[in-house]
Amino acid sequence: MNRKEAVVGETQHKGMPEVGTSLLSGVSLPAAVVHEPALAHNLAWMQRFCEDHGARLAPHGKTTMCPELFQRQLAAGAWGITLATAPQCRAAFHHGVNRLLMANQLVGEANMAIVAELIEAGADFYCVVDSVANADQLARYFTARGLRLQVLIELGVPGGRCGCRDTDEVMALAERIDSEQALVLCGLEGYEGVVHGNDPERAVRAYAWQLVEAAQALDKDALIESPRPLITASGSAWYDMIAEVFREAHLGKQFVPVLRPGCYVVHDHGIYRQAQHDILGRRPELERGLKPALEVFAQVLSLPEPGLAIVGMGKRDIGHDQLPEPLRRYREGDERPGRTLSVAGWRVTKLMDQHAFVQLPHDEDEPEVGNGRVRVGDIVAFGASHPCLTFDKWRRVCRVDERLEVVEVMQTCF
């Protein structure tokens, strides 16, 4: 089973911790943990960023697939939630998300049936289309169901992922959609994360302007049926560039600009930490930036030889496109602040399914000498890169306060 139930703080009846349970004494480890202070900061920070740039926020829900976090994002002011698949949209809708932006092609009658049921139930649903073949399939199905489907044309890049490859293709597809009563063209969608080149900043900016120009061409030819058309792009690495171009183009007069970062909600200790560093380098006026909120807590299982600790956490527990980063070490049941490890020489060298090999610095390799040295049973907090690949390993995630007391057990619905 590749997604396990983290039965934290197990009790005889509930299998979950009571609110107020200490992560360091009453929770079965390993456990995925979201820190409330950093989470609250990130929610407010990104919402404020979007509002300051005249854009709406539709965070990508695939990052967490956590209904409690969806509701926090919506309560903070998000316009809607972005998803990647029809089943993800169904899960979000069933947990109270009404506006769903599926930033992907809707292909296959089984997936179309899911979406039709959502529309019939009142969902404000959008998906993307990039080919006449897909448009024809959608038109046939939704005509037969007596429904109208809101679609966005996707503009891609040569060598990239999905999407029309140029504005001419966009315009031709728009004309075909315009001829289909079952399809409602609502604007343009793109994703800059697949843009590459020797000068990525220039390439992303050029792509953003290409999106603007294609959207304006659609508007000029009156091919967009929606009275408030959308233009949407932005992952978690280049949202500042997309927002800047959309604002420079004064799109708010014709379109609703929508940004779709997802990883911001918990940030990370890897690729998005670096991306945020680059953003703050481009935009030093952005105050403070995002904070990592997601960690995995696990215990030292064995100290089998000098300089090596084996920790009970592996590929089934934490993302590993980059190796996890040891952050702090705690004594089990000890409420004192943890010892910082990220600059102390601790380093993960290898991950197995449920074990991490951790290289220890020279002053930690005598396990039972002195209170300061590592012991079997010690608790280690690890940071991960790319939070999407950690959340999908857990069915339950502990949200904790600054004292590491559990304030909520959040469920995921992958």
pLDDT in tens, 48-66: 999 999 999 999 999 999 9
pLDDT for 368: 44
Question: What is the per-residue pLDDT across 329-355, written as a single tens digit (0 to 9) for each?
Answer: 999 998 888 889 866 789 999 999 999
pLDDT for 19: 84
How confident is the prediction for the chain on average, in pLDDT? 93
Question: What is the per-residue pLDDT across 30-50, written as a single tens digit (0 to 9) for each?
Answer: 999 999 999 999 999 999 999
Write out the two tokens for 268.
């990370």
pLDDT for 141: 98
Asked whether the predicted pLDDT for residue 284 surpasses 60, the reply is: yes
Asked whether the predicted pLDDT for residue 209 surpasses 50, the reply is: yes
Q: What percentage of the chain carries pLDDT values higher than 90?
A: 86
19 and 406 Cβ atoms separated by less than 8 Å = yes
Asked whether the predicted pLDDT for residue 3 surpasses 60, the reply is: no
Map tokens 């943990």 to a residue: 33
pLDDT for 364: 61
29 and 312 Cβ atoms separated by less than 8 Å = yes
139 and 180 Cβ atoms separated by less than 8 Å = yes
Asked whether the predicted pLDDT for residue 8 surpasses 80, the reply is: no
Helices (H), 184-318: 200-220, 239-248, 271-282
pLDDT for 15: 55
pLDDT for 251: 86
Name the band, by pLDDT with cuts 50, 70 and 90, for residue 372: low
Q: What percentage of the chain carries pLDDT values higher than 70?
A: 93
Asked whether the predicted pLDDT for residue 14 surpasses 70, the reply is: no
Question: Bigger pLDDT: 6 or 217?
Answer: 217
Asked whether the predicted pLDDT for residue 365 surpasses 90, the reply is: no
pLDDT for 366: 45
Give the DSSP H or E segment for 31: strand 31-35
Name the band, by pLDDT with cuts 50, 70 and 90, for residue 290: very high
The stretch 171-198 carries a mean pLDDT of 96
Name the band, by pLDDT with cuts 50, 70 and 90, for residue 163: very high
Write out the two tokens for 349.
């060298």
Write out the two tokens for 30.
């390993």
Asked whether the predicted pLDDT for residue 191 surpasses 80, the reply is: yes
pLDDT for 287: 78
The stretch 10-34 carries a mean pLDDT of 79
290 and 274 Cβ atoms separated by less than 8 Å = no
Q: Alpha-carbon Rg of the chain, whole angstroms?
A: 23
Burial class, 100, CB count within 10 angstroms (exposed 0-12 / middle 13-18 / buried 19+): buried
Q: Map out the domains of the chain with their CATH numbers.
A: 31-35+290-411 (2.40.37.20), 60-261 (3.20.20.10)
AA letter at 46? M
Can you tell me the distance from the alpha carbon of 116 to that of 122, in angstroms, rounded to the nearest whole number?
Answer: 10
The stretch 173-200 carries a mean pLDDT of 96
Residue 95 CB contacts under 8 Å (≥ 6 apart), including other chains:
67, 70, 71, 413
Name the band, by pLDDT with cuts 50, 70 and 90, for residue 11: very low
Task: Give per-residue burial for 299-316: e unless 16+ CB within 10 Å, then b.
Answer: bbbebeeeeebbbbbbbb
Residue 50 CB contacts under 8 Å (≥ 6 apart), including other chains:
56, 57, 243, 259
Question: What is the per-residue pLDDT across 96-145, written as a single tens digit (0 to 9) for each?
Answer: 999 999 999 999 999 999 999 999 999 999 999 999 999 999 999 999 99
- φ, ψ dihedrals at 12, nearest 5°: -65, -35
Asked whether the predicted pLDDT for residue 29 surpasses 70, the reply is: yes
pLDDT for 288: 82
Distance linking the first and last C-alpha atoms of the chain: 13
pTM for this one? 0.93
Does residue 30 have a cis peptide bond before it, meaning omega lies within 30 degrees of 0? yes
Burial class, 125, CB count within 10 angstroms (exposed 0-12 / middle 13-18 / buried 19+): buried
